[in-house]
Amino acid sequence: MNGTEFAPVGDGGAGLSQAQDSLLGLVGHLGTVEIAVLAVLAYFSIVCWGIFFYKRRELRRAAKQSERFLEVFWEAKNLATIHTASLDLKASPLAQMFRAGYQEVQRLTKAKRQAGAGGDEISTDLAGIDNVERTMRRAMTQEITAL
């Protein structure tokens, strides 16, 4: 080339690298806007981690209570026993769905008793099954949304 060589100027930036060795030293050289941006990022990072651990705890609780509900469900001899046990399992989506279906069955049984034994029982029973299915599907959607 034309004889000009590049050489380091001054201390080669050694003063800046020493200040950047620590996080506080780095923050000390930032302006107000940069500090504000870092504060906002730190705040939202803490919020995100909090949400993560909260949801993780809730999902674990729901899974444990659902396992317990399934044990009760398969061991119980009648629906009333299952319903009573499900009242203590508020975090279990399965227990919530069962309670919704059980309450609909109770409502239909009561309505059938009030209507008397007359009428077309087969069509009434089929309509009742559809009502229970819709009720449980709605409860399932609500539980999925909540989770």
Split the chain (147 residues) into runs of 10 and give each run's mean pLDDT.
51 52 75 91 98 96 95 91 91 93 89 67 63 90 89
Domain that holds residue 40: 30-146
Looking at the domain assignment, is residue 14 inside a domain? no
Looking at the domain assignment, is residue 80 inside a domain? yes
Looking at the domain assignment, is residue 117 inside a domain? yes
Amino acid type, 92: S
What pLDDT shows up at residue 111? 81
Total tally of structural domains belonging to the chain: 1
What pLDDT shows up at residue 2? 54
Looking at the domain assignment, is residue 136 inside a domain? yes
Looking at the domain assignment, is residue 40 inside a domain? yes
Scored b (16 or more CB within 10 A) or e, 28-54 reads eeeeeeeeeeeeeeeeeeeeeeeeeee
Task: Report the predicted TM-score, pTM, of the whole model to 2 decimal places.
Answer: 0.64
Looking at the domain assignment, is residue 23 inside a domain? no
